[in-house]
Amino acid sequence: MNIQNLQTDFLVIGGGTAGTMAGIKAKQANPDADVLILEKANIRRSGAIAMGMDGVNTAVIPGNSTPEQYVREITIANDGILNQKSVYQTGRWGYEVIQELESWGVKFQKDHEGNYDLKQVHRVGIYVLPMPEGKDLKKILTRQVKRHKVRVTNRVMATRVMVKDGRAIGAVGFDVRKGDFVVIQAKAVVLCTGACGRLGLPASGYLYGTYENPTNAGDGYSMAYHAGAELTNIECFQINPLIKDYNGPACAYVASPFGAYTANAEGNRFINCDYWSGQMMLETWKELNSGKGPVHLKMYHLDDDTISEIERVLWANERPSRERFHEGRKENYRTHGVEMNISEIGLCSGHSASGVWVNEKAETTVPGLYAAGDMASVPHNYMIGAFVSGRISGINAMDYVQDIEHVEPDADFLAAEKARIYAPLNRPDGVPHTQVEYKLRRYVNDYLQPPKSPTNMDIGLAAFERYHDSLDLMGARDPHELMRCMEVHFIRDCAEMAARASLYRKESRWGLYHYRLDYPEKNDEEWFCHANLKKGETGDMEMFKRAVEPYIVDVNLEQEVYDVAVR
């Protein structure tokens, strides 16, 4: 096996939304610095937005809304547990991101007077800006990465961050085609590997039929954990209302401004806001269990031209294969509601609040290690939040690396990691990764899918701890299979975190995301705090409370309760 030794000033792990922006901003801040994006796929079509996006959902446009209003909305939607300063950044810098994207050729929808044509999807504010031609977003970002002379290494998957004397000094991984062992020394590292989208098992049973791009297997959550960084609110799962079986968005964010809405089998509304929140998911769960299910996205009351316009957006962006899915079932928005279901669980701050703990500078608790995008703990952050946090990490990392030198990695660490990575190749007839992953993710469904019950979660936790033995049975016949095997390691780590964090927080919060049957009420007295975890000195996972940072925007949470039920 070949060994590649690389060196860079700033290593960006993951070349999706946040990662490409982190690289670009770092080079803008210091054109002389060496910046390397490491990507396990190809940045041209990787990450959550492989086929672009139909709109940005957290656009704070001056004259329309303010960062303070946005922080207030997210504080209420997230039941008060957040670092407002981090959320503020999304509101503060989002407009500049939009303007810069526009200067690069990304088209946002405008009205007849040339103003941004914003739509309301959130409960109070207006933050959704459609991008009906957003399908080539990744291609545009890739062009800018090249123009800014950011180096890119595609098809290499990172497996561990290297840490020495308490700070990040690079990362280790392997080439998923050639199998080379890759060691990268860096002065600073940002993790932007997206959500843990392959945690629960989709009801279809297809391992890759997930809402998130299935390459996003929780790599960054696991790598940050093993680097010693804190993670937060992992019990606040991502659960989405999705097209049944297809498991992608239906998508109310596009269709509801045209008059579509989520309805029960009788065609009636049961929620008054289609914005994705834990409270909205809890109402959906109740409706499905009330005898009035299934629920559907209702468009059949709209006129033909309106539906054609919705189709033009939905069938070109984000998940364009929706068109052939509906076609295959001979269903049409004019005559059929889009049958929806509650997804399996995942971890993603883009839609909920879990993630690697970061402050408003995108710093984790390990010096030199940053996190951005869907895996960083900035709640309800969506794509604009990923761009903003990527931007912030790139700029701050460039500042940090000024007085830092490269550090020689520890030889024992490298030897141990090499042995761990390549073990499945020594067992080509070992259990296939597909079977090992399937069973692990079925356990996640069996024991962690809300509503959560304590004994179930105990059994699940024991199964995940025991699962190290199953990982040791996995066999791979080539570097591609090895990539999937190592992803199963990431998924196991995330499953254990999800179980421990859910057992730790002895209350219910965030609607369905953390609905405990044994503690069905919110308990602010004991649990108005973050539930954080990290790898302790002994190597065991430790849970602890972290106080909520003082608010910078006043919100009276006793009066302003997030409630979207139709009564």
Q: Cα angle at 283 between 60 and 494, to 5 degrees?
A: 75
- 431 to 450, contacts with another protein by CB under 8 A? 431-432
68 vs 245, beta carbon nearer another protein: 245
Residue 209 Cβ vs another protein, minimum distance, rounded to whole Å: 5
- 170 to 189, contacts with another protein by CB under 8 A? 176-177
Residue 282's φ and ψ, nearest 5 degrees, are: -65, -40
DSSP state string for 319-354: STTHHHHHHHTT--TTT--EEEEEPPPBB-TTTSS-
Residue 248 Cβ vs another protein, minimum distance, rounded to whole Å: 9
What are the strands, taking DSSP E only, across 31-180? 35-38, 55-56, 129-130, 151-153, 156-164, 167-175
29 vs 431, beta carbon nearer another protein: 431
DSSP state string for 371-430: E-GGGBS-TT-HHHHHHHHHHHHHHHHHHHGGG----PPPHHHHHHHHHHHHGGGG-TTS
d(CA 6, CA 456): 45
**Site string (483-522) toward another protein, x via CB under 8 A:** xx--------------------------------------
Residue 3 Cβ vs another protein, minimum distance, rounded to whole Å: 22
Among 399, 401, 402, 376, CA closest to 387: 376
Residue with tokens 């699962």: 467
Residue 99 Cβ vs another protein, minimum distance, rounded to whole Å: 27
42 vs 272, beta carbon nearer another protein: 42
Asked if residue 349 lies in contact with residue 83, where contact means CB atoms within 8 angstroms, the answer is no
β-pair partners for 326: none
Residue 458's φ and ψ, nearest 5 degrees, are: -60, -45
**Site string (230-269) toward another protein, x via CB under 8 A:** ---------------xxx----------------------
Instruction: Tell whether the torsion through CA atoms of 482, 486, 489 and 494 is positive or negative.
Output: negative
Residue 51 Cβ vs another protein, minimum distance, rounded to whole Å: 5
- 45 to 84, contacts with another protein by CB under 8 A? 45-47, 50-51
Among 263, 355, 363, CA closest to 78: 355
Determine which residue in the list 1, 3, 419, 473 makes contact with another protein, applying CB under 8 A.
473
Residue 42 Cβ vs another protein, minimum distance, rounded to whole Å: 5
- 140 to 169, contacts with another protein by CB under 8 A? 155
Residue 328 Cβ vs another protein, minimum distance, rounded to whole Å: 5
What is the four-CA torsion angle of 532, 559, 56, 284, rounded to 10 degrees?
80
Choose the stretch contacting another protein; rule: CB under 8 A; options: 228-236, 289-297, 476-484, 501-509: 476-484
- 321 to 350, contacts with another protein by CB under 8 A? 321, 324-325, 328
* Helix (H/G/I), strand (E/B), else coil: 102: helix
**Site string (296-325) toward another protein, x via CB under 8 A:** -----------------------xxx--xx
**1-29 burial string, b = 16+ CB within 10 Å, else e?**
eeeeebebbbbbbbbbbbbbbbbbbbbeb
42 touches another protein (CB under 8 A) = yes
Residue 176 Cβ vs another protein, minimum distance, rounded to whole Å: 6
246 vs 515, beta carbon nearer another protein: 246
Residue 151 Cβ vs another protein, minimum distance, rounded to whole Å: 17
Considering CB under 8 A, how many residues would be counted as binding another protein? Answer: 41
CA distances from 491 to 200, 215, 421, 488 (A): 9, 11, 15, 5
Choose the stretch contacting another protein; rule: CB under 8 A; options: 42-50, 93-101, 123-131, 338-346: 42-50
122 vs 484, beta carbon nearer another protein: 484
- 192 to 221, contacts with another protein by CB under 8 A? 204-210, 213-215
273 vs 491, beta carbon nearer another protein: 491
Residue 47 Cβ vs another protein, minimum distance, rounded to whole Å: 8
Residue 59's φ and ψ, nearest 5 degrees, are: -90, 115
132 touches another protein (CB under 8 A) = no
16 vs 80, beta carbon nearer another protein: 16
β-pair partners for 220: none
475 touches another protein (CB under 8 A) = yes
Residue 487's φ and ψ, nearest 5 degrees, are: -65, -35
Residue 327 Cβ vs another protein, minimum distance, rounded to whole Å: 9
β-pair partners for 188: 10
Binding site residues, another protein, CB under 8 A: 41-42, 44-47, 50-51, 155, 176-177, 204-210, 213-215, 245-247, 319-321, 324-325, 328, 427, 429-432, 473, 475, 480-481, 483-484
